[in-house]
Structure 1
Amino acid sequence: MPRCHWCGTDPLYVAYHDTEWGVPEYDSRSLWEKLILDGFQAGLSWITILRRRDGFRAAFEGFHPEAIATWGEPEITRLLADPRIIRHRGKIEATIGNARAYLDIPDFSAFLWDYVGGAPLVNAPATPQDIPTESELSRQISRDLRKKGFKFCGPTITYAFLQATGLINDHLATCPAQAGPITA
């Protein structure tokens, strides 16, 4: 059975598709990291972010929101000079603000998973054209995140985030990953 069309044949992309994308993530900090990376992806392709993910993790010191929430202009200046990441002041500043917003939510995982009743929404689309770029759910979560102070989390970014973290399973019905991660 063919994989979802979007991962193509790039080994990094295929591995991401097979083992991460659409796999339910319940760890709050991991969910936050993925939301931040999806925000950095705005206007770019996901493979660009995926190729720089290790650089992002190093530059953002493991994506620990408790540390990032304390950052200011010196850290922004450092990040703007770091070629391992996307050097976009607005996205960097949003990450710092998003760390502060994250810390105001007692359980980020529960906050997100409550929207889907604790279990992934399985869409099993027949064709790539059946996969939306946003939904009423992503619009609602985006609105709620923005009310809590988050930035770079519009409905399209939020939908991609929900897919990546397995809150929504949009693997094609014919994709072997529809039933879970592909191993060997």
Structure 2
Amino acid sequence: MKYHDEEWGKETHDDHVLFEFLVLESAQAGLSWITILRRRESYRKAFAGFDVKKVAAFDDEDVERLMQDEGIIRNRLKILAAINNAKLFMEVQKEFGSFDRYLYSFMPDGRSVNNLPGSIPVSTPISDAISKNMKKRGFKFFGTTICYAYMQATGMVNDHVVDCAFK
């Protein structure tokens, strides 16, 4: 509830936060969000405070350390994806000036979207386009459904319902 009321859907343009959610949402693939949210602090410690440069420099020794860390999801493919995605995140930053600019290049008029009340989709044409482009760039564990959840979490889209305390 605290996460929902204070953080979910709050628009952020901070690349550090955007990287944190990239790691967390990718780890969530196939699991419930609450499973990852409960392990967030462990992820923060395990992944160097979500410092993208440090994560991009992780080596085989770090992978083995992470595989022994009971505080995170010990899935080798997801751990390797986080490291791979960190390297690609930095490439996108170089190309676009920031990861935020890259993401918002897909958004109508470069702005977040406030969705109309009603059913909340699991993906949209925008999440399809972002996911497809990221896959083409080599990002892993970031399909359109994960991408849309990422967009919701970081406030790229606002799916809070009308009677929600947070709007």
Residue 122 in structure 1 maps to residue 114 in structure 2: yes
CA contact (8 A) 1:124 1:171 kept: no
Whole-Å Cα distance in 2 between the matches of residues 118 and 26 of structure 1?
A: 12
Residue 102 in structure 1 maps to residue 93 in structure 2: no
Residue 38 in structure 1 maps to residue 25 in structure 2: yes
Counterpart of 1:85 in structure 2 is: 72
CA displacement, residues 117-161 of structure 1 (integer Å, 9 cap, x when unaligned): 3322001323xxx11111111110001111222111000000000
Q: 2:35 aligns with which of 48, 59, 63?
A: 48
CA contact (8 A) 1:76 1:93 kept: yes
Counterpart of 1:155 in structure 2 is: 144
Q: 1:173 aligns with which of 159, 162, 166?
A: 162
Any unmatched runs of 5+ in structure 2?
none
CA contact (8 A) 2:8 2:154 kept: yes
Letter paired with 1:119: R
Any unmatched runs of 5+ in structure 1?
1-13, 179-184
CA root-mean-square deviation: 1.0
Count matched residues: 162
Identity of aligned residues (%): 44
Residue 112 in structure 1 maps to residue 107 in structure 2: no
Counterpart of 1:20 in structure 2 is: 7
Matches within 5 A, 1:54-73: 54-73=41-60
Structure having greater relative contact order (Cα 8 Å, sep ≥ 6)? 1
Whole-Å Cα distance in 2 between the matches of residues 35 and 25 of structure 1?
A: 13
Whole-Å Cα distance in 1 between the matches of residues 34 and 68 of structure 2?
A: 21
Query: 2:92 is paired with a residue of what secondary structure?
Result: coil
Letter paired with 2:68: A
CA displacement, residues 32-56 of structure 1 (integer Å, 9 cap, x when unaligned): 1101101101111111111100000
Rg larger for:
1
Shift of 1:63: 1.0
